[in-house]
Amino acid sequence: MERWAPLCEAHFLFLRINFAWESGYVLVELITKLAQNNQIMKIKFVLLLLSVSLLISCKKEEKEFNEYYPDGKLWKKSVYESSKDKDKNYTLFEFFESGSIKSVTRFENGMKQGRCISYYDRNEVAESVFFYENDKLSGIGRYYGKDGMITDKGLFINDSLVVKEEFYTNGKYTQLRVFTKKNGAFIQNGKMLYDDQNRVGLDNSEYYLAFSADSVRVDDSLEVRVMFFALGKDDGHIALTLGRFDENLVSLSREKIILSDSLSTTFFYKPSRKGYNLITGKLLYVVDRPKEKVSDFVFYHDFLAY
């Protein structure tokens, strides 16, 4: 019989961003799911795009550049911060031939920078969310099904995928499999089973979850709670070393070492900048009895600072 443990009492399990173009407005919907009771919380707001008729300037500047499909339908819309920023600093909106939004990408100095979101055709659900640093994939990327549930997740460093998580859902159960890149190949070194009641099956789990707020003030610190799920929790503990590493998972720096006498710990992390922030490191799972065994995992978690 499977032994179960709750994920967390009142933490956000996932965040999804829906995006739609309508009559010159960008309709944005933030969807958050509470881990405790599966309650769906939706926050909707309207983002008004800058257009030629609403420029915050006394001069008439050309701040948009449009490209069209052969039949005349809108294909791409580039929105610049100023007329001098063409091909440098702008946001690119791409559209399907159906007219629905396809993707939103930010460019700075002509390179992809920050969040890039892609959408399904005729569907407000995001298909994928990635982050770029100087035109290279950096941070955590996520893929979603048309139902809005996550299907794949991965950590990118310097344009290279180093950790990938695959989610398989069958009825009320979801199986997570984790693969880490070692010597050029992906090796499975983590797993987790959970159900639609947000309970973790301990007999089929050996991996961690990190919980925190989605965003924090840039001059404040983020509280992060880490929980490791495995059978025999009374005979083990975790140790966490925070720091940066390269695309080969070679350590570049050490920022903090956190020791715990159990399978959970909490730490505080100060943002390094406004916008997207990524926390990385190595997590050790140590089994003390009957014979000491140490398993290591790549730790990663992201959040936004404002």
Q: Is residue 164 over pLDDT 80?
A: yes
pLDDT interval class at 151 (50, 70, 90): very high
Report how far residue 249's alpha carbon sits from residue 253's, in angstroms, rounded to the nearest whole number: 11
**Structure tokens given for 195:** 């159900």
pTM for this structure? 0.78
Q: In sequence order, what are the residues at sequence separation of 6 or more whose Cβ sits closer than 8 angstroms to the Cβ of residue 225?
A: 8, 11, 210, 211, 212, 264, 265, 266
- Do the beta carbons of residue 150 and residue 126 sit within 8 Å? no
In angstroms, the Cα distances linking 129 to 119, 126, 254 are 9, 7, 28
Report how far residue 254's alpha carbon sits from residue 273's, in angstroms, rounded to the nearest whole number: 18
In angstroms, the Cα distances linking 128 to 101, 116, 174, 236, 263 are 13, 8, 19, 36, 32
- Do the beta carbons of residue 192 and residue 2 sit within 8 Å? no
Q: Is 268 helix (H, G, I), strand (E, B) or coil?
A: strand
What average pLDDT does range 107-123 have in this prediction? 95
What average pLDDT does range 5-24 have in this prediction? 48
What average pLDDT does range 60-69 have in this prediction? 83
Sign of torsion, CA 288 267 198 275?
negative
pLDDT digits (tens, 9 = 90+) for 267-288: 999 999 999 999 999 999 999 8
- Do the beta carbons of residue 216 and residue 226 sit within 8 Å? no
Q: Is residue 262 over pLDDT 60?
A: yes
pLDDT digits (tens, 9 = 90+) for 16-37: 455 444 444 444 444 444 333 3
Burial profile 159-198: b = 16 or more Cβ within 10 angstroms, e = fewer: eeebbbbebeeeeeebbbebbbbeeeeeeebbbbbbeeeb
pLDDT interval class at 52 (50, 70, 90): very low
Report pLDDT for 8: 53
Q: Is residue 222 over pLDDT 70?
A: yes
Report pLDDT for 292: 80
**Structure tokens given for 78:** 């580039």
Sign of torsion, CA 103 138 18 44?
negative
